[in-house]
Amino acid sequence: MKAYGKYIAAAVSVIFFLTLLFAALPSPREASASTSGSMVEIRASGLNVRTGPGTDNPRFHVLRRGTYVTLLSRQGEWLQVRLPWGTVGWVFGGNGYTSLHPIHQYIRTTASFLNVRTGPDINHTRIYQLPRGTTAPVVDARNGWERIIFDTGRVGWVSGAYTESTRTGSGSSSGSSGTSSRGGESRTGSLQGRTIVVDPGHGGHDPGAVGRSFNLTEKFVNLDTSLRLAGLLRDAGARVILTRSTDVFITLGQRAVTANNSGADIFVSVHANAHTNRSIGGTETYYNTAFRPQDSRRLATLVQQELVGELGLRNIGVKTANFYVIRHTTMPSILVELAFLSNAREESLLNQASFRQRSANAIFRGINRYFQ
C-alpha cells in the first residue's frame, strides 16, 4: 500500500512538472504572432522580393544589403514582409540572407527636427533629420540612445531625450515624413487647406519606359515616388488626390478630368525618362502655357531647382511641352522627369528606394516653396 502511494505521489509530481512546462511554452497562436514584432535586416547584397513564397512567383523588387523591412508572417524559410513604402511581398530568409531584430518599442519624436546619427552619441555623423511627431520602431538601446528604423528602411541612432514611447507605430511613419540631411522641408500644417493632385504616370498594361539592367519599369518608379510624395504632403496638411494609387491603367483624359473636378491648387505628374542614346541622363521639368502659364513656370522652376540640388544629376532645365495631362489641366501644372531609365547608372539610382525618397523630398520642398 505504501509502495502504491509512492507511485501516486510520483505521478502527481510528473503531471505538475509537465503542467508548468507547457504553461511556459507559447501557444501556436502566440508563436505565430511573435513574428509580427520583428524587423528583417537584409544581409544579401541584393534580395529579390516576390509576389508569393517561392521562386516560381514573379519578382517585383530587389532589396539592398542593410535595408530593414517589417516581418508579417513566415512560411518555411520564406518571409512575408512589408516594404518601407507599404507594399507587401515575400523574401527568402534562409542561407544567411536575412536576420531578425525584435522591436523593443515604438517611439515618437518630440523635437522640431531630431538628428539621426551613425552611432549612439553626438560625435557620430548626422545622416538624417526627423520632424516632430515621426514614429519609428526601436531595435536597440544604449546609454540613453535608441537605434531606430527610419526613412526607407535605414537604421540609425537618436537621442532618447527627444522621444517618447508610443504603444504602436500609428501616426506619421518614418518612411513618409522624414527629411533629408538638407533639412527644413516638413513643417506641420505648412500646406494646410491646399489641394494637390499627384499623378503617377503610366500603370497597368502600360509600363512606360523599361530599364535594361534591372528590368525596372517606369510605372513602378512613378507610383512609388508619388506615394512617398503624397505622404509628405499629407503630413504638411495638404489634401492629396492621387490619379492612381495602385498598378492600374488610367487614361490621360481621366487623369485630367480628375484634376479639373477636384478644385486642386496644383497638379504634379511624376515620370522617369528614356532616350535611344543610353549615355544621356539628367533631370528636367515641363509645364504648358495653356492655363496659368506664369504660375506653372514658377512651380516647375522651384521643383526643378530642388530636384537638381538633391539628386545631383545633369540639369536639363525647365521646358514647355504639349503633354496631354499638363495641357488639359486648368490649374498650375507640371510634369517632372526624375532621371533616365535608359541610362544604366540612373536606372541603378532609380532602383534604390532611398533615391526615390529623396526625389519625393525634393518635389515636396519645391511645392512648399511655391506656396510660401
Domain residue spans of the chain: 31-101, 105-177, 195-371
Residue 31 has pLDDT above 50, yes or no: no
pLDDT of residue 109: 87
- What pLDDT, on the 0 to 100 scale, is given for residue 152? 64
SS3 letters across 131-173: ECCEEEEEEEEECCEEEEEECCCEEEEEEHHHEEEECCCCCEE
Spatial CB neighbours of 29, under 8 Å, sequence gap ≥ 6: none
Q: Which of 100-104, 261-265, 366-370 is the least confident region?
A: 100-104
Would you place residue 10 in the very low, low, confident or very high pLDDT band (cuts 50, 70, 90)? low
Percentage of residues of the chain with pLDDT beyond 90: 63
Reported as a single tens digit per residue, the pLDDT across 270-279 is 999 999 999 9
Report how far residue 363's alpha carbon sits from residue 369's, in angstroms, rounded to the nearest whole number.
Answer: 10
Quick check: 174 pLDDT over 70? Answer: no
Q: CA-to-CA distance for 146 and 156, rounded, in angstroms?
A: 8
The mean pLDDT of the chain is: 84
Higher per-residue confidence, 182 vs 211: 211
> Annotated catalytic residue: which of 41, 284, 310, 337?
337
> Is the pLDDT confidence value at 170 over 50?
no
pLDDT, tens digit, 9 for 90 and up, residues 272-320: 999 999 999 999 999 999 999 999 999 999 999 999 999 999 999 999 9
Greatest mean pLDDT range, 71-75, 126-130, 325-329? 325-329
Topology of domain 31-101, per CATH? SH3 type barrels. (2.30.30)
The one-letter amino acid code at 73 reads S
Contacts 24+ apart (CB under 8 A), 163-169: 163/107, 163/108, 163/109, 163/110, 163/114, 164/107, 164/108, 164/110, 165/105, 165/106, 165/107, 165/108, 166/105, 166/106, 166/107, 166/108, 166/135, 167/106, 168/106, 169/106, 169/135, 169/136, 169/137
Determine the pLDDT at residue 9. Answer: 52
Is there a shared CATH topology between the 31-101 domain and the 195-371 domain? no
Residue-wise pLDDT tens digits, 37-91: 789 999 999 999 999 999 999 888 889 899 999 999 999 999 999 887 667 899 9
Q: Which three cell numbers stand for residue 96?
A: 544567411
pLDDT for residue 44: 93
In angstroms, rounded to a whole number, what is the distance separating the alpha carbons of residues 184 and 163?
19
CATH topology assigned to domain 105-177: SH3 type barrels. (2.30.30)
Tell me whether residue 41 is one of the annotated catalytic residues: no
CATH class as words, domain 195-371 = alpha beta
pLDDT above 90 for 128: no
